[in-house]
Amino acid sequence: MNRYTFEISYNGKEYFGWQRQPRQNSVQQEIEDALTKLNRNEKISIVGCGRTDSGVHAKRYILHVDLTDQIYNVNLISKLNKMLPKDIVVHQIQQVDKDFHARFDAKNRTYRYFIHQQKDGFNTDFSLYFPSQLDLKAMQDACQYLMGKQDFTSLSKLHTDVKTNICEITLAHWVKTSENEMYFEITANRFLRNMVRATVGTLIEIGEGKIKPEDFKTILEEKDRGAAKASVPAHALFLWDIEY
């Protein structure tokens, strides 16, 4: 058995997130089922670089798996892409050290959240339509309070099974790509469940002038999910990159 990494991407619209769950369709299940079929129906398990919630997409996602020589060959990518649904794509497979771990060895993860402010019938699945005026400078100013290593309980889903809510953010900013389109980009060593969507929801409230940029500091200090604002919808969120 050798260990391999798969670089994949997926449209999360039809999936209940990355992780396999009872009675729910997941990206992990689709890939494991395809590999199991290639393994004469002997179960193969994969390990992903992290969870993505229901409806969230991934432009670059890394998983690792242990495979026999009978399964791994030069045609494996082609075989899998024929077997997998059209919204899951395998781009690259590489052999790695046997102790490599897709989740625990990841140094940083980057997410992007997309917003468009002019109605666009072709952009509805991957970007949030938000026609109200936003103060981009205020939203940009508020990003400074996210930086560094701190407790992000205020931006985390309640009752999760993680041992700590401490994360270290190294990048958080807004990028305007056209007159009516922008995205929020954030990089950290780890993320809590719902953290990016709660962050964007709070930043939008700042952009609308409902709260001030400096209020974000107070929200984080309270360590209370009720202090932050509502989460934005999942369909505009992408896991954009993984750094090892």
Which residues carry out catalysis? 53
Residues 6 or more apart whose CB falls under 8 angstroms from that of 26 comprise 15, 16, 17, 18, 19, 20
Strand partners, 142: none
Cα 215 from Cα 242, distance rounded (Å): 30
DSSP 3-state of 75: coil
Distance CA 93, CA 87 (A): 18
Contact, 79 vs 159, CB < 8 A?
Answer: no
Chain length of the chain: 244
